[in-house]
Amino acid sequence: MLLLWQVGAAEYRSPYLPGPGDIYSAFVELVRHGDILGNTLWANIGASVYRLLIGFGLGVVFGVPLGLLMGLYKSVYRNIRAVVEPFRFIPPIAWIPLAIILFTGLTRYAFLIFLGAFFPVFTAALIGVARVEPIHRKVTLVYGASKVYVLTHVVLPTVLPDILGGMRVGLGTAWMTIVAAELTGGSAIGLGRMMVNYSELLRIPEVVVAMVLIGLIGFLFNEILLLLEKYLFRWRWQVTL
Which residue stretch of 12-20, 134-142, 170-178, 207-215 sits at the interface with another protein (rule: CB under 8 A)?
134-142
Q: Please, what sign has the CA dihedral across residues 222, 224, 225, 226?
A: positive
Answer yes or no whether residue 157 interacts with another protein by CB under 8 A: yes
Q: Torsion-angle region of residue 133: left (phi > 0), alpha (psi -120 to 50) or beta?
A: beta
- Judged by CB under 8 A, which of 74, 88, 131, 138 binds another protein? 138
Answer yes or no whether residue 142 interacts with another protein by CB under 8 A: yes
CB 21 to another protein: min, Å: 51
- 89 or 237: CB nearest another protein: 237
- Judged by CB under 8 A, which of 24, 73, 87, 149 binds another protein? 149
- Say which amino acid occupies 61: V
Residues 6+ apart with CB under 8 A from 62: 114, 118, 122
Answer yes or no whether residue 135 interacts with another protein by CB under 8 A: yes
User: Interior CA angle at 212 toward 216 and 168, to 5°?
Assistant: 35
Which residue stretch of 25-33, 135-143, 179-187, 214-222 sits at the interface with another protein (rule: CB under 8 A)?
135-143
- 34 or 157: CB nearest another protein: 157
Burial label for 28, CB within 10 Å (0-12, 13-18, 19+), is: exposed
Binding site for another protein (CB under 8 A): 135-136, 138-145, 149, 154, 157-158, 233-237
